[in-house]
């Protein structure tokens, strides 16, 4: 399940990659398309489902849709449209095994940065919420001025 990165975001770009590594920079881009008509909402609220299907002819079909009101978009990737050869796949599997620890460290760093960004976003929203701010001040005043 995927979601939006920004408040009121109505379009997301879906990129389809092929490869064994954790980071897309180390994989091959097969295609991309935009999912439009996402209902405006706070970031992280829309739920976007991406479905991958490979048919009997080896054609990859990718569909993205927003849960609830919204529309779906699709892309088809045929065998001859930038797909990896068996040798490329073997090489990439070997690279994945070779760089597994490095990729793990990079992923942990990215996850930490994302967690910090989410925390800052939530804190900013709470600071803008006058009810929370008023309640916090009230609670703080009671603690400070509470008779011992």
Q: What are the structural domain ranges in the chain? A: 1-83, 99-148
46 contacts 1 by C-beta, under 8 angstroms: no
Q: Where are the beta strands (DSSP E) in 8-141?
A: 12-18, 28-35, 48-54, 60-66, 72-77
pLDDT of residue 112: 95
pLDDT of residue 35: 93
Note the pLDDT of residue 148: 56
The C-alpha atoms of residue 113 and residue 39 are separated, in whole angstroms, by 27
Average pLDDT over residues 23-28: 88
Give residue 147's pLDDT: 62
- Give the whole-angstrom CA distance, residue 76 versus residue 92: 23
User: pLDDT tens digits for 41-54?
Assistant: 999 999 999 999 98
Structure confidence by residue, pLDDT tens digits, 77-133: 775 655 677 888 888 888 888 888 998 999 999 999 999 998 888 888 777 777 766
Q: What are the E-state strand segments in 7-125? A: 12-18, 28-35, 48-54, 60-66, 72-77
5 pLDDT band, cuts 50/70/90, is very high
pTM strictly above 0.95: no
Homologous superfamily (CATH) of 1-83 is Substrate Binding Domain Of DNAk; Chain A, domain 1 (2.60.34.10)
* Token pair for 37: 């008509």
């Amino acid at each position: 399940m995927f979601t939006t990165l920004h408040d009121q975001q109505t379009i997301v770009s879906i990129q389809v990659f092929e490869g064994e590594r954790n980071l897309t920079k180390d994989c091959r881009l097969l295609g991309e398309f935009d999912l439009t008509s996402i209902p405006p909402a706070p970031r992280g609220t829309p739920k976007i489902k991406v479905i991958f299907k490979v048919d009997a002819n080896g054609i990859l079909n990718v569909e993205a849709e927003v849960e609830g009101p919204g529309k779906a978009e699709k892309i088809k990737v045929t065998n001859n449209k930038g797909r990896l050869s068996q040798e490329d796949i073997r090489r990439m599997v070997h690279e994945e095994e070779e760089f597994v620890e490095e990729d793990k460290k990079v992923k942990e760093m990215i996850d930490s940065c994302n967690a910090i960004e989410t925390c800052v976003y939530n804190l900013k929203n709470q600071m803008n919420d006058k009810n929370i701010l008023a309640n916090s001040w009230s609670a703080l005043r009671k603690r400070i001025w509470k008779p011992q």
